[in-house]
Amino acid sequence: MAASVQSVAKVLLRLTPSILQPLRIYQRLRPRASFSPVFPPSHTFCQAAALQEEGAAQAAQAAEALSRYREKPWAYLESEEFMEKYGSDPVWTGYRRNHKGGIPPQKTRKTCIRGDKICGNPCPICRDPNIIVHHQNVKLLEQFISPYTGMLFDPTKTGVCMKQQKKLTEAIDASRNHGFLSFQIPHVDFTKENYSNSHDAVGLTPPPPSLTSGESWYKWYDQITPDESEVAKVTTKYKAYLK
Ligand SMILES: [Zn+2]
């Protein structure tokens, strides 16, 4: 059986020397490389190269954008670019997080960018590299503060990830400390009575009537005449404590 296979191979070799000759030459040129006559189609390389180029272009664009607004993050909020993209609405309007099932998660995600990996559907701040949370970026911070309570919106409302939410809280605190943002203090109406000393509880205490009239404090105090022997007993008992 083996002999017959060999003979068949020999016949094939004789019949197709023109095909096998270039292969042998290739093997001789590159003896160590494992030879595989099946080549991957060339267009896959082209696609990969194109994708790489596209990614590099995007990265370059992002880097350029970052470098443009890194010094002045607030300039982006006033630029035409921003107005075209968001108009006069806050940056988080219309953002909806993708989630499984009908009930939205009770917390936003921890972070949208891990290393150089960006998740699908990143949060309103992470999706735009030009938006930089900074304590001088007052227009941006104002979009995340409720006009009624003066408090930072809940992340489930704005969709901002926990990492950016932490940055926002820190930036707002810093901004208030620097005087860029106003404090919201609850208004309390006060009555004059609470602060006047004419009120009975806070006014000057009048002297006791007994002191003014010259009488004793208790009416029976003057009428008592204690027994002499009893007084002597008490004084000897509490001699150490009496002076
Ligand atoms: Zn995020």
Please name each of the domains of the chain with its CATH number: 73-97+107-183 (4.10.640.10)
Beta strands in 117-172, from DSSP E residues, in sequence order: 117-118
**pLDDT, one tens digit for every residue, the chain (243 residues):** 445 556 555 544 454 544 444 444 444 444 444 444 444 445 545 555 555 666 556 655 666 656 678 888 899 999 999 999 999 999 999 898 888 898 888 999 999 999 889 998 899 999 988 899 999 999 999 999 998 889 999 999 999 999 999 999 999 999 999 999 999 887 888 777 667 777 667 777 777 777 777 777 787 887 888 899 999 999 999 998 987
- What pLDDT shows up at residue 29? 45
159 alpha carbon – ligand 1 mean position (Å): 8
170 alpha carbon – ligand 1 mean position (Å): 16
123 alpha carbon – ligand 1 mean position (Å): 4
121 alpha carbon – ligand 1 mean position (Å): 9
**Cα–Cα distance, 117 to 186 (Å, whole number):** 44
171 alpha carbon – ligand 1 mean position (Å): 16
Rounded CA Rg of the chain: 45
- What pLDDT shows up at residue 12? 46
Rounded (10°) CA dihedral 138, 141, 147, 152: -150
Phi then psi for residue 13, to 5 deg, are -60, -40
22 alpha carbon – ligand 1 mean position (Å): 57
Of 128, 117, 163, 124, nearest in space to 144 by CA: 124
109 alpha carbon – ligand 1 mean position (Å): 8
188 alpha carbon – ligand 1 mean position (Å): 38
Element (H, E) at 75: helix 73-78
**Residue recorded with tokens 């006033």:** 78
- What pLDDT shows up at residue 187? 80
118 alpha carbon – ligand 1 mean position (Å): 9
**Residue recorded with tokens 């309570």:** 149
Q: What's the predicted TM-score (pTM) here?
A: 0.52
- The helix/strand/coil state of 171 is helix
92 alpha carbon – ligand 1 mean position (Å): 11
- What pLDDT shows up at residue 179? 95
- What pLDDT shows up at residue 4? 57
Element (H, E) at 202: none
- The helix/strand/coil state of 190 is coil
Of 124, 119, 122, nearest in space to 158 by CA: 124
- What pLDDT shows up at residue 213? 78
Element (H, E) at 113: strand 113-114
